[in-house]
């Protein structure tokens, strides 16, 4: 059947002489793979810049649930892309890599799609607090995918256990230090607030801890590298 859907481009792989296979997170269908013909030729109808990481596009697609690879009939930008800058590009690559490795289900997740689309429009906006955006993004992703850390922090259970996904009383190899656990509790309890008093090294440690948490709770979530670029840029 033919249908229209907005999509977020997550990954492309060259196919043949001029085509690519695009992995796209669509609002109506979830994750899908599409063959885009002619995109690497000068005469191609689809411009290659529409398939950059986290590009927001409107698509008309041929879709069959029985096929692993479908076809894009029409592709157009959903909105003007924000101006390129080092911080925005680093955040874009981080979000793209995380989504590409975390999303497996070919089921519609419109709430997650809407969240990612709204965040992606703010990546070059200093008011969006880029230093804390990766932390909030990972926590929002765990929420939408049903593995959000349980915020049961208390004086009796002050340590977050990345294996158990909750705060516990007894330290172990999988618990975070008290200060880092308290920081995570603050982000969980006030997701829209701006936590104060944390250094870039604090944020880096918590981001690494959340990536470790995702590696434990998302199948296939391995070999994440883009956060290292963020650590360099978001000092």
Superfamily of domain 2-77: Nucleic acid-binding proteins (2.40.50.140)
Mean predicted confidence (pLDDT) in 210-225 = 87
Q: Over the stretch 3-61, which tens digit does the pLDDT of each residue have?
A: 999 999 999 998 888 888 999 999 999 999 998 887 766 665 667 778 888 999 999 99
Dihedral sign from CA coordinates of 2, 54, 207, 133: negative
* pLDDT higher than 70, residue 123: yes
- pLDDT over 70 for what percent of the chain? 91
Residue 14 CB coordination number (10 Å): 11
Q: Is the pLDDT of residue 228 over 90?
A: no
Please give the Cα distance from 34 to 16 (Å, whole number). 14
More confident residue, 133 or 130: 133
Most trustworthy range by pLDDT among 18-22, 87-91, 153-157, 224-228? 153-157
| pLDDT value of position 154 | 96
On the question of pLDDT at 209 being above 80, the answer is: yes
All structural domains of the chain with their residue ranges: 2-77, 86-233
pTM value is: 0.89
CATH superfamily of 86-233: Recombination protein O, C-terminal domain (1.20.1440.120)
Q: For 150-190, what is each residue's pLDDT tens digit?
A: 999 999 999 999 999 999 999 999 999 999 999 999 999 98
């Amino acid at each position: 059947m033919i249908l229209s859907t907005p999509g977020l481009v997550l990954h492309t792989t060259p196919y043949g002489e001029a085509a690519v296979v695009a992995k796209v997170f669509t609002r109506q269908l979830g994750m899908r793979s599409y063959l885009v013909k002619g995109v690497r030729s000068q005469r191609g109808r689809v411009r290659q810049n529409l398939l950059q990481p986290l590009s927001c596009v409107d698509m008309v697609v041929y879709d069959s649930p029985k096929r692993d690879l479908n076809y894009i009939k029409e592709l157009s930008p959903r909105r003007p892309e924000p101006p390129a800058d080092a911080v925005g590009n680093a955040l874009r690559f981080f979000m793209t890599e995380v989504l590409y490795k975390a999303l497996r289900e070919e089921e519609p997740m419109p709430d997650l799609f809407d969240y990612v689309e709204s965040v992606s429009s703010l990546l070059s906006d200093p008011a969006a607090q880029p230093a804390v955006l990766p932390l909030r993004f990972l926590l929002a992703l765990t929420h939408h995918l049903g593995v959000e850390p349980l915020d049961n922090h208390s004086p009796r259970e002050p340590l977050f256990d990345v294996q158990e996904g909750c705060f516990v009383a007894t330290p172990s190899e999988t618990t975070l230090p008290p200060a880092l656990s308290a920081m995570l509790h603050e982000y969980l309890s006030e997701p829209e607030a701006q936590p104060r008093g944390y250094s870039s090294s604090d944020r880096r440690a918590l981001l690494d801890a959340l990536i470790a948490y995702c590696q434990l709770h998302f199948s296939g979530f391995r070999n994440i590298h883009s956060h290292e670029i963020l650590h360099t840029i978001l000092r």
